[in-house]
Structures are given as structure tokens and as C-alpha cells.
Amino acid sequence: MSIRLVSLVMILLLLMPAPSLAGMRLAVRGQDPQTIARYLQQLPVGAEVEVRLADRTTFRGFLIAAEEGTLVVMPKTRVPVPQRRLPFDAIEFVELRSGRGGIGPGAAVGIGVAVGAAAFFALVLVAVAAAD
């Protein structure tokens, strides 16, 4: 196997996009209360959710429990507030906020720059090795 073929394969592998599930969201919209109840029963306790009520108010919070006919959510606010108990028939939309591992935009930019620099230097090394 020639060095040029190995170099070409490595370059193609570096340039291929990797699938990412980081931004994946699961949601249920405008369903009947039984469908919403089944969806909420399978969510893990402590999951971050976004809830929109029938009166169009929207808030984010952490799932405490999905009891019989009621969703218990701890709202995500700067000032502590009591838990909210929401009947399933008052809920219009629920979305699981996954993939938000606490990484900020600055850290994401730093990671992107580091990965880009590493890929550049790897390509330079491959080109130097292929030139010999």
C-alpha cells in the first residue's frame, strides 16, 4: 500500500462530518393528555424540560415527577421559586432539553479552534510524510 493512498484515506477521514446527537431534542406537541402523560412517564427525573401551557406561557425547569394527571416541575430561575404542579390537560407542549451539558459559547469556540488546529497540523504531517 503506497504512502499516498494512506495519506488520501487519512485526509478523507478527517474531512468527513461526524454525526452528532448533542443537539437532539425530543418533544410532544398538541397531543391529547394521555399521550403527554405517556411521554412524561418515560422521562428521567431531573431532566431539563421546556413547557408551554395552554395559555401560551412558556418556562424551563427540571422534572421532579409525573404523577397521576399532574406534572411536577421545578422552574429554572435565578431566584428560587416553589415547584409547579401542572395538570396534563393544561400542557400544550413539552420538550426535553438534552445535549445542554453546561458548555458555554466560549468553551465551544475554544474546542473548535483546538480541533481545527490539530486537524491542520495532522494534514501538514501527512503531506510532509507523503513528500518523502
Q: What is the pLDDT of residues 46-86, one digit of tens each?
A: 888 898 888 889 999 999 988 888 889 999 889 989 999 98
For the chain, domains (ranges, CATH) are: 25-100 (2.30.30.100)
pTM beyond cutoff 0.85? no
Residue 67, CA atoms < 13 Å, CB-side half-sphere: 8
What average pLDDT score do residues 108-118 get?
Answer: 91
- Cα(77)–Cα(74) distance, integer angstroms: 9
110 or 92: which leads in pLDDT: 110
Running DSSP on this structure, what letter comes out for residue 26?
E
Residues 84-98 have pLDDT tens digits of 998 888 888 888 886
Of 21, 19, 35, 39, the C-alpha closest to 95 is 39
HEC assignment per residue over 81-102: CCCEEEEHHHEEEEEECCCCCC
Q: What is the mean pLDDT of residues 10-34?
A: 60
Rounded to whole angstroms, the Cα distance separating 1 from 63 reads 56
